[in-house]
Structure 1
Amino acid sequence: MLLGCTALVTLPQGLVAQDAGMEPDGSYRLSPIIIEAGTEVDNDAESVVASELWTGGKVATSILDTPASVSVVTQKEMEQRNADTVEDVLEYSSGIITDYYGTDDRNDYYLVRGFQASTYRDGLTLGTMRGVREDPFAYERLEVIKGGNSTLFGTSDPGGTVNFVTKSPRFESFGELFGSYGTNDQAEIGFDFGDVVNPSETLAYRVVGKVRDAELEYDDSRDDSQFFLGAVTWAPTSYTELTFTADYLKRDGTPNSGGYPLDRDYDRDEFFGEPSFNDQDVERLTLSAEFRHEFQNGLNLRANLRYSDLEDDFGYVYLTDNDARTGSVVDRDYFGGESTAEEWIGNAIVQYDASFGSVDSSTLAGVEFRSASTTSSSFYGTYTPIDVDDPVYSGPPTGYSPYSVLENDYRTRSLFAQQNFSFSDRIVATVGVRQDWLDIEQEDLSSGSRVETEDDFSETSYRAALTYKITDETSAYASYVESVAPPAIGTEPERGEQYEIGVKYQPAGLNALFTASAYELTKTNVVVPVVLDSGVIERQTIGESRVRGAELEAKAELTENFGLVGAYAYQESEFVRGNVRGTEVDGNEFATVPNHLASVWLTYELPGNGAHGDIDLGLGARYVGEYFYGVTNDTGTSPEQYYVDASFGYDLAENTSLQVNVSNLLDRQYVVGQGTAAYYNNGRTVTATLRRSW
């Protein structure tokens, strides 16, 4: 399929795209897409190479013709590497650094092109749900679009967008059941199955679930979770489809003690928090509906609606060390809070495709709304020190009261449009615009009396791109995109703009995709977290920052038995202007942004011969260059980091396999972050998984 840039919808297998007439061979022409009945979409369970991008109707498109740097991690790649967290999923993608807070397990931490990236689910922002650690088993794939994308997605961070594509029903019978056990008493069971319900094959369902009972590598810890999803799809005709999805996520974990003392290396199994206080409980319910209809005349309609409800409570005692400390007694503070969020979000998107001689046109327009309410209560205070050579726990803090009690309401209304023109199936021009109206209301009860404030924003973002199809296998592009980060009351929204050029190659006869890009990404009104002398972390505006870089990425199944996933990125970060706590940082590099990132994952299959089943071997290596720990560039730098990962799979019988994965095979220990404590990377883990599929 030849898809025209980023405004063309790919239809599921069995659907036929039409415009005014039928071609002689029985196919139908829709803009620059040729789709014949029976064309298959990406099968994420069978390949590490994705050829299409899916963003909830904003839109599905050929990656080869998308004028942006894109990284897609499929279900097969996640299974090969046993990627159990979002950080694990992204660590082999170009231009993304992960896990820079190491064993701080409250959130997933990653930067894309040196900046934060906004998270989306099926093309709709996760908004107030974005701080939750997602379970990769719930998703078909993760898609990363590098750079600002506010024109397509609304308010978003400049680094890019991470889109989680939810598992949905398929009109076939399938299933998977697995159990695993590994390091730190990590035990999991999971299932994923579905089928067609009725003889007319208009109703299908899917059920997904995973239960985890585990500890972390430090003492007095746990890392338990449960996830369940149920979905039903009704397709009364070949042109209409309606899907309902309900899912539930619960996490019960133990946040680490803010890291380890600064004076020397410590064993990762040591714990300097409070076993009876360090705790995090997350519970989220999500209900979703998706509708799409093709009118058979070039007009398509898609609508999405989602409701989410979240509770997130945590508390932890953590170290507040400093380089001037003498002796083995280290100060500690405590921090915690309770929060809730309730959110409705939805959109409606209309697309019209037509042809005018050698010019194909695709016009997309949509409306979007979001309504969210949050509450938060935060507490903080100093706590009893601890002797790190002979730790004695003091019990949970008592008598504290919240220093911040807030209630917030967010209302967003958006209009967006995008126009694509394809000239002679070789040149594709894209322009887009989006207008977001945001209203924020806040009630502050911190002082005991209610203080009400409000603010409203009207933000416009643009994008423009030109794609040239050099051959049917090779495309080159140049693009300009903008981003507007989610604003806060009394502050200007952070804005970003990116200039990018790139080339993509998808050779005929080989399941592979090779990409290269160069970019300049600038962000103004920049806000960064800064550790104050008191140990409190405060967000401060420092002005303008910029990253210039280049990226290479390759995903290929070079032969029937040999596969490759490789990536390299060069990043040159700089604070153009600004200061932190009275210190100018002009010309400084970003914190936690290395100049060089590289990775490679190789797989090889040894076919069975009757005496034994197939054997699958995987070997990966990752390199992370050194980077500064803080924006002032005077608090130290990280060491260069080298990691080796491996996997071994054996087919015990048809559709039954045993897989062993080892992460950080050499058990390297690095200080990956540093503030009032040192953060270590995760140690070696070994996991064995028994999987049965049908």
Structure 2
Amino acid sequence: MRSACRCAAFGSLFVLAPPAFAQAVSTETGAINLGDIVVQGDASASDTESSDAYQAERASTAMRFNLTPRETPQSTSVVTRAQLEDFNLNSALDALESTPGISVERVETERTYFTARGFDITNFQFDGLGAPMMYKNLQGDIDTVIYDRIEVLRGANGLLSGTGNPSATVNFIRKRPTREFQASLSGTLGSWDQRRLEADVSGPIGSTDRVRGRLVAAAKNADSYLDGLQRESHTVYGVVELDMTDRTMLTAGHSWQQVNTDSPLWGALPMYYTDGSATDYDVSTSTSADWAYWDNTESRTFAELSHLFANGWEGKAALNYVDVTSDSALFYQYGTPDRETGLGLMAYPSLYETDVEQLIADLHVKGPFAFAGREHELVAGLQWSRSTLEDSSDYGQGIGTPLPPLENWNREYPLPAFTAGRDGSDWTDRQTGIYSAARLSLTDRLTGIVGGRLSRFEGDGVTYGTSKDTSYTDVFTPYAGLVFDLNDQMSLYASYAEIFQPQTEVDINRDRLEPIDGVQYELGIKAELFAGRADASLAVFRIEQDNVAEASGTIPGSVDIAYLSAKGLTSEGIEATLAGELLPNLQASLGYTYVDIEDPEGERARTFIPRHMVRAMSTYRLPFHDAMKVGARVSWQEAIYRDQGAGVTTRQDEYALVDLMASYDISENLSASLNVNNITDEKYLNSLYWDQVYYGAPRHAMLTLGWNY
């Protein structure tokens, strides 16, 4: 029960927000270090693109406070620009696969789920603003060329997202204009006829730096290790900053990305034969047809107005508009093949069109205030979002047509008439919230963070004949955390958060599942090592949730996924991370995760998520020849399995993927790099999230030539 006293306490906290209530901040011993106050969006110490470091000094994903990792009472990670470039991680999927604690569930070539701490990640933010993904997955990919870094806050973040999902929040931080001119250009050639070009130009517009701009573009064309798959992508991003006064800045920008894929996977390979034994196909095996395609286009437009008040307070208004469209003609193979003949698969062709629009607005103020002789910090804000989804499905003639064995499949199937039926969705979700948090200096060594969000969720419309009408009002999600400084380098912390997350998934009857409800507890220790050049953390957590959506096959008469509400799930685990310069010239990001998910009977749940994971990447610049840098990236996970029913279990043994890199600075402005991924040519299944799978990429290489000024 969410009590009225909690709401009253939240209201009293919120009214402290206006800057007029702020007192002059003293400099007494024991005050909170507020750090450098800068207009957000301008290049600052948080930016990582000008450094080789695998450590970010500050992050703002948690509660809008610009905190160091040690000041944040939750487990965090940052994928810096250096990491993205060293290992050629121009895909968000590849970047997140390198992040401690995150599992990237590649269920199809154009559709991906993400999990952390045992649960689905549904909250992607961009510069701190975002709304839950309508499909709870990513269609296509996100090109990282336009981002400075990717911040990951593990655990619930209901204060800013409203949903309090206990997995993680992924925050993509855009590149911003620079006050001095800079430019870069790079080209990449790689396996499967991969070709990629990138350009990035930034600097002042005009004779002064009061107006600054940046333009980033990338184009890529590649075949694939999967039979017939070809992908072409284009990305363009432009942003302008205007210093209206010394204290007021206006920022506006737009990004556009298009990914066109021929012969994509819709669904994937069957995991087992009719006798229950496991299938084993060539890595290149595809179930697609030669006429199939899946084109995704994403546009993001944003505007921000920031102002620094004379008393040290800052106000910011931000608006984001997102439009994601998808156009596809797809071919799905369903059924269970016979081990001897390979027969048993059947055809399911369909046309799909999707349009998702999201409008997100945020207005907040933050700054220092004095109380009881000590200095504190406060943030308070309003947030509103509207998400609309329209999609249509036109089913093809010939559904159920028997197909040849996959071993003989050549992707040749007649293009059918898509006149066998039509269905679709048209629904809207709206969310309104007020939030506030205070960072309180309780003693010289003890800091507390307390806050909450009061939200309203509304939805209306239909999806494939099922009502999407929902209404949840006065939903309060509190947050509390403590950080105790053991000394100047090491801190203990504890945090508590409640979880409330409306769901879009439906059951076998197409009824929408009840919201997820639960709590999260976290304890940990953090340290700044090697004179502050590296950050280390160790966290333990426990999450208790009800109504978690679990895939349970398909809805009768369709290929749409049906879900069950899992009751009484608990997730307990450990996370350990180390990131930064461990030795002179040695940059590293290391992470170990243990997570155990159980149902109310104490049995293991969500067994497609590995209990043990290791994520590691490191580079070393040779001291005897500092133009040369070498590095390695390792991803290891424990064995996973999926219970298919009827005594059939699909397993993926433990495996490790090893990537190597080497770069050489030919001159001050010119460099070359070589990346070789999956050097051991490991054969593995990408995911057991669904009951169909496909194989991960075999060994492949990329050669990049880069120029910068």
| TM-score, normalised via structure 2 length | 0.87
Partner of 1:496: 518
In the alignment, does 2:640 pair up with 1:627?
yes
Deviation for aligned residue 1:635: 2.1
Maintained 8 Å contact 1:30/1:354: no
1:260 aligns with 2:266: no
Q: Tell me, what secondary structure is at the counterpart of 1:53? A: coil
Alignment of structure 1 residues 436-455 onto 2, 5 Å: 436-443=455-462, 454-455=469-470
Instruction: Quickly say closer, same or farther: Cα 1:299–1:36, change in 2 above 3 A.
Output: closer
Structure 1 residues 466-475 or 478-487, which shifts more? Answer: 478-487
Give the corresponding residue for 1:460: 476
CA distance in 2: counterparts of 1:462 and 1:36, whole angstroms: 27
For the residue of structure 1 that corresponds to 2:70, the secondary structure is helix
Cα deviation for residue 230 of structure 1 reads 0.5
Given the alignment of the two structures, is residue 70 of structure 1 paired with residue 76 of structure 2, yes or no?
A: yes
Aligned length, in residue pairs: 657
2:531 is the counterpart of 1:509:
yes
1:679 corresponds to which residue? Answer: 694
Summarize the Cα distance change of 1:453–1:542 in structure 2 as closer, same or farther, 3 Å threshold: closer
Q: Could you tell me whether the CA contact under 8 Å between 1:93 and 1:553 is conserved in 2?
A: no
Contact kept in structure 1, 2:26 and 2:375, CA below 8 Å: no
Q: Is the 8 A contact 1:364 1:418 kept in 2?
A: yes
Give the drift of 1:286: 1.6
- 1:666 Cα deviation from its structure 2 partner: 0.8
Q: Secondary structure of the equivalent of 1:434?
A: strand
Aligned partners of 1:151 and 1:483 also within 8 Å: no
Name the counterpart of 2:405: 387
Q: Out of 281, 289, 310, which is 1:296 matched to?
A: 310
Give the one of 529, 532, 554 matched to 2:578.
554
Whole-angstrom CA distance in 1 between matches of 2:405 and 2:705 = 43
Q: Aligned with 1:76: secondary structure?
A: helix
Q: Given the alignment of the two structures, is residue 111 of structure 1 paired with residue 111 of structure 2, yes or no?
A: no
- Aligned partners of 1:471 and 1:433: how far apart in 2? 29
1:325-348 CA-to-partner distances (Å, cap 9, x unmatched) read 541224134255211122211110
> Of 478, 488, 492, which residue of structure 2 is paired with 1:476?
492
2:549 is matched with which residue?
527
Displacement of 1:685 after TM fit? 1.8
1:310 Cα deviation after fit: 2.0
Q: What is the root-mean-square deviation in Å for CA atoms of aligned residues?
A: 2.8
Matches of 1:69 and 1:600, distance apart in 2: 17
Q: What CA distance in whole angstroms lies between the structure 2 residues aligned with 1:20 and 1:597?
A: 48
User: Aligned runs of 1:301-320 on 2, under 5 Å?
Assistant: 301-320=315-334
Q: Aligned-pair distance for 1:637?
A: 2.2
Report the CA distance between 1:266 and its aligned residue.
Answer: 2.1
Partner of 2:561: 537
| Partner residue of 2:446 out of 427, 452, 459 | 427
- In structure 2, do the counterparts of structure 1 residues 536 and 453 end up closer, same or farther at CA, with 3 Å as the change threshold? closer
Kindly state the Cα deviation for residue 528 of structure 1 after the two structures are TM-superposed: 1.2
Q: Displacement, 1:382? A: 3.0
CA, structure 1 residues 71+270, in 2 after alignment: closer, same or farther (shift >3 Å)? same
Q: Equivalent residue of 2:304, what SS?
A: strand
From the superposition, tell whether residues 307 and 29 of structure 1 become closer, same or farther in structure 2 (CA, over 3 Å): farther
1:10 is matched with: none
Distance 1:358 1:382, change over 3 A: farther
Structure 2 Cα separation of the partners of residues 312 and 48 of structure 1: 35
> C-alpha separation between the residues in 2 aligned to 1:149 and 1:562?
33
Deviations, residues 553-589 of structure 1 (Å, cap 9, x unaligned): 1112123321222111111111226xxxxxxxx6232
Query: Any residues of structure 2 matched to 1:586-601 within 5 Å, and which?
Result: 587-601=603-617
Distance 1:29 1:123, change over 3 A: farther
Q: Secondary structure at the match of 1:125?
A: coil
On the 8 A contact 1:257/1:271 being kept in 2, the answer is: no
Asked if 1:98 corresponds to 2:104, the answer is: yes
Cα pair distance change 1:572/1:127, threshold 3 Å? closer
Cα deviation, residue 19, structure 1: 6.9
Contact 2:479 2:496 in 1 (8 A): yes
Q: 1:56 touches 1:123 (CA, 8 Å); kept in 2?
A: no
Q: Secondary structure at the match of 1:682?
A: coil
- SS of structure 1 residue aligned to 2:642: coil
- How many angstroms does 1:43 deviate by? 3.7
The Cα of 1:475 is off from its aligned counterpart by 1.3
Q: 1:348 aligned to 2:354?
A: no
Identity score, percent: 24
Partner of 1:87, secondary structure, is helix
Shift of 1:91: 2.1
Deviation at 1:247, TM superposition (A): 1.0
**Whole-Å separation in 1 of the counterparts to 2:468 and 2:495:** 39
Query: Contact (CA 8 Å) 1:298, 1:354: kept in 2 or not?
Result: no
Q: Which residue among 66, 77, 89 is the counterpart of 1:83?
A: 89
Say whether the 8 Å CA contact 1:57–1:349 is kept in structure 2: no
Q: Which runs of 5+ in 1 are unaligned?
A: 1-6, 8-17, 578-585
Alignment of 1:573 onto 2:579:
no
- 1:121 equivalent in structure 2: 126
Q: How much has 1:128 moved relative to structure 2? A: 4.9
1:157·1:486 contact (CA, 8 Å) conserved in 2?
A: no
Once the 2 structures are TM-superposed, how far is the Cα of residue 619 of structure 1 from its aligned partner? 1.5
CA contact (8 A) 1:568 1:598 kept: yes
Cα deviation for residue 402 of structure 1 reads 4.6
- Counterpart of 1:234? 242
In the alignment, which residue of structure 2 is the partner of 1:148? 156
- Structure-to-structure mapping, 1:3-402, within 5 angstroms: 20=24, 31-35=32-36, 41-45=45-49, 46=51, 47-55=53-61, 58-101=64-107, 104-117=108-121, 118-128=123-133, 131-132=138-139, 133-254=141-262, 255-256=264-265, 258-261=267-270, 262=272, 263-277=278-292, 279-322=293-336, 325-334=339-348, 335-356=350-371, 358-379=373-394, 381-392=399-410, 393-402=412-421
Shift of 1:146: 0.8
Instruction: Say if 1:149 and 1:482, in contact at 8 Å, map to a contact too.
Output: no
Q: Would the aligned equivalents of 1:625 and 1:641 in 2 still touch at CA under 8 Å? A: yes
Measured after TM superposition, the shift of residue 131 of structure 1 is 2.8
- In structure 2, distance between residues paired with 1:30 and 1:243: 32
Aligned to 2:507: none
Q: Aligned pair in 2 of structure 1 residues 676, 467: CA closer, same or farther (>3 Å)?
A: closer
C-alpha change, 1:638 and 1:336, in structure 2 (3 Å) is farther
After superposition, the C-alpha distances for 1:358-394 in whole angstroms (9 at most, x for unaligned) are 5222121110111232211135543441232322522
The unaligned stretches of length 5 or more in structure 2 are 1-12, 14-21, 273-277, 505-510
- The aligned counterpart of 1:408 is 427
Partner of 1:3: none
Give the deviation of 1:401 after TM superposition: 4.0
Deviates more, 1:396-405 or 1:206-215: 396-405
**Is the Cα–Cα contact under 8 Å of residues 620 and 644 in structure 1 kept in the other structure?**
yes
Label 1:273 to 1:383 Cα distance change in 2 as closer, same or farther (>3 A): farther
Q: Give the C-alpha shift of residue 676 in structure 1.
A: 5.0
Q: What is the CA distance between 1:321 and its match in structure 2?
A: 4.3
Q: 1:610-667, CA deviations, whole angstroms, 9 ceiling, x for partnerless residues?
A: xxx7111012222110112248695222111111110011111112111111111111
- Distance in 2 separating the partners of 1:402 and 1:523: 39
Question: Structure 1 residues 177, 344: closer, same or farther in 2, change over 3 A?
Answer: same
C-alpha distance after superposition, 1:130-172 (max 9, x if no partner): 6342111121111111111112221253211111111121222
Secondary structure at 1:271 match in 2? coil
Q: CA deviation at 1:509?
A: 2.1
Structure 1 residues 33 and 59: alpha-carbon distance in aligned structure 2, compared to 1, 3 A threshold: closer
The question of whether the paired residues in 2 share the 8 Å contact of 1:342 and 1:373 is answered with: yes
Q: Is the 8 A contact 1:546 1:573 kept in 2?
A: yes
In 2, distance between residues paired with 1:159 and 1:190?
33
Displacement of 1:35 after TM fit? 3.5
